[in-house]
């Protein structure tokens, strides 16, 4: 065998070894390092999704298991801290339980995730109105209407706040706006009829 053939054989062996090592590394990266990693992957695949957990909480709330719904939503917010929906649902439950200050914290956390959610501004405004924080409530109604002025519930809720402040003319206009959007909105019809009598 000539020197040239020996050099070629050595080069081929070297490249074959490099290919073998590359393939070996790919296989090692694809495989979990331990059974713990395998178990963690299986648990993650079996864990209920965000949507499934929210549905479970909704079902508990609909079945009047408010405390259980609250507990489930607290877990959801802990595990999915960047979802506005979980925050809003927990805030809603807390407000139903009369825990208004804590509810506000979650609603405000939700706004940090999505500041352009008109329904969250609406919910905050309604809650602030119940807490007699009327100026701040009005600001949130205005923000909600700036985002979407075609949601009749915002106009209705804002009208009720104006009514509680004795601003009857403004309340009438807002009830009418709600009816312009939804002519079948019975609560707005009733309130407007009372004010016009």
Q: Is the pLDDT of residue 21 over 70?
A: no
Across 156-170, average pLDDT: 95
Q: Is the pLDDT of residue 92 over 70?
A: yes
Q: Is the pLDDT of residue 178 over 80?
A: yes
pLDDT score recorded for residue 40: 47
Helix (H, G, I), strand (E, B) or coil at 80: coil
Q: Residue 131's CB: how many other CB atoms inside 10 A?
A: 14
Residues 178-190 as b or e (16 or more Cβ within 10 Å = b):
bbebbeebeebee
Are 164 and 133 within 8 A, CB to CB? no
pLDDT score recorded for residue 42: 45
Domains of the chain in sequence order: 50-115 (1.25.40.10), 138-197 (1.25.40.10)
Q: What is the pLDDT of residues 29-47, one digit of tens each?
A: 444 444 445 444 444 455 5
Q: Report which of residues 91 and 19 the model is more confident about.
A: 91
Across 180-185, average pLDDT: 96
Alpha helices in 31-133 (DSSP H): 35-46, 50-62, 66-79, 84-96, 100-113, 118-130
Q: What is the pLDDT of residues 127-146, one digit of tens each?
A: 999 999 999 999 999 999 99
| Mean pLDDT score across all residues of the chain | 83
pLDDT score recorded for residue 103: 96
Q: Would you place residue 24 in the very low, low, confident or very high pLDDT band (cuts 50, 70, 90)? A: low
pLDDT score recorded for residue 196: 87
Minimum mean pLDDT range among 43-57, 87-101, 130-144: 43-57
As a whole-number percent, the residues of the chain with pLDDT over 70 amount to 76
Q: What is the pLDDT of residues 10-19, one digit of tens each?
A: 444 454 455 4
């Amino acid at each position: 065998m000539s020197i040239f053939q020996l050099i070629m054989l050595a080069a081929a062996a070297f490249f074959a070894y490099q290919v073998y090592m590359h393939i070996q590394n790919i296989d090692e990266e694809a495989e979990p390092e331990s059974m713990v990693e395998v178990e963690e992957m299986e648990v993650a695949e079996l864990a209920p999704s965000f949507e499934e957990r929210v549905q479970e909480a909704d079902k508990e709330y609909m079945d009047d298991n408010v405390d259980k719904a609250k507990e489930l939503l607290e877990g959801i917010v802990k595990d999915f801290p960047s979802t506005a929906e979980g925050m809003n649902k927990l805030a809603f439950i807390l407000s139903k339980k009369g825990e208004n200050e804590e509810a506000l914290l979650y609603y405000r956390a939700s706004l940090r995730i999505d500041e352009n959610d008109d329904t969250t501004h609406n919910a905050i405004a309604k809650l602030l109105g119940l807490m007699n924080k009327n100026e701040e409530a009005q600001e949130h109604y205005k923000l909600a209407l700036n985002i979407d002025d075609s949601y009749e519930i915002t106009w209705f809720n804002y009208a009720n706040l104006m009514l509680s402040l004795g601003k009857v003319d403004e309340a009438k206009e807002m009830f009418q706006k709600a009816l312009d959007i939804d002519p079948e909105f019975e609560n707005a019809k009733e309130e407007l009829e009372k004010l016009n009598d």
